Structure 1
Amino acid sequence: MTEWSHYQMELEALRSIYEGDECFKEISPVSFQFRVGDLEDRKAFILDVKWPDTYPETAPHICLDAFFNNRISAETKQLILSKLEEQVEANLGSAMMYTLFEWAKENQEALMESHRPVVTAVTLTSNTEVTAPSAAKKREKKEQLTKAQKRRMINRTDNKGELPRGWNWVDVIKQLSRTGGKDDD
């Protein structure tokens, strides 16, 4: 059997199994995304899988680089990948995507056991400002400002030191409800 027919058979099988399943996404005939867990699930993650030319004799490329996975620590990602590699080794030479996806679903809890959402710098900044406003004010004089500080400065004033026009979105909504939008003809 040629490589292409292996690809084709597995691809057809995946399409029929996951038809209408929002967890499965075919990016190209050799590239897929599979979400393990619901969108609202804090322990959900997305697997990006790409078949090399010699698949299934060669392992598929699996990565967790999707933006959706940004809140997962590097250690947890490494654990997930190493556990999946063990499964790939055990299934080399045969169609394995369904097996891998289902294994990941069944073992989601164990794979994400040590998961603690990654805390962003913006969150840390806002916490320190509550406790030490004087330190935050000093920091603003430096050229390197955090996104949160820049956002606050922009929200406060325009370059003349005045509040910019339309800064209060509630007024914009009131104005639109009074005058009607462009479409109201």
Structure 2
Amino acid sequence: MKQAELFLQADAALRSVVDRITPQQLGLAAPAEWSQKPNPTLRDVLASHARDEAWVPDVLAGRTIEDAGTTYDGDLLGDDPVASYDRLNDRATAAITADLDPEKVVHLSYGDFPLAEYLQHVSVYRAFQAWSIARLIEVPFRLGDTLVDNLWEEIVPQIDGWREMGVFPPEVAVPADAGRETQLLGKAGYWQE
């Protein structure tokens, strides 16, 4: 399934950035739109991603928020946030590599969707968060050609609809000779010089 491949690529991209976060950077202020918490820090954002990773096996199994109850409440990061995130990421990766039915309906906090659509949603989120976090912590990062091509195929044809739903900010102009990754970031409203 194409969306499972996209998920694995985007999830690996996010992990590659998370693994470069230092303990000192966890206290950095993060943009307000990255979190529902007031005055979020990078640790708050990482905690949200950890919870998102933790949910993947349950979502794939068809569980609902009610089924999980308080399973994912509290601090999932502990004393070693990056290692804790990595453990949850390993579980999510293992769940995604199982035999999956793209039409299976999964239950999300914002409604029920076919599995393929859920994977598309979370892949887009992970990929652009990887890029954004890398910018915040000032580490070199590229989405990579394969991930860019897959994101392009998944989102560009319907980007105006995504934008209307508030998923993406307005498109940003990029240099005329920009490569495909920069073009994608511009279309999604993320590119910055």
Structure number with greater CO (CA < 8 Å, separation at least 6) is 2
TM-score where L is the length of structure 1: 0.24
So what's the TM-score if we normalise by structure 2?
Answer: 0.23
Q: Max radius of gyration: which structure?
A: 1
**Greater share of helix:** 2
Relative to its length, the structure with more strand (as a share) is 1
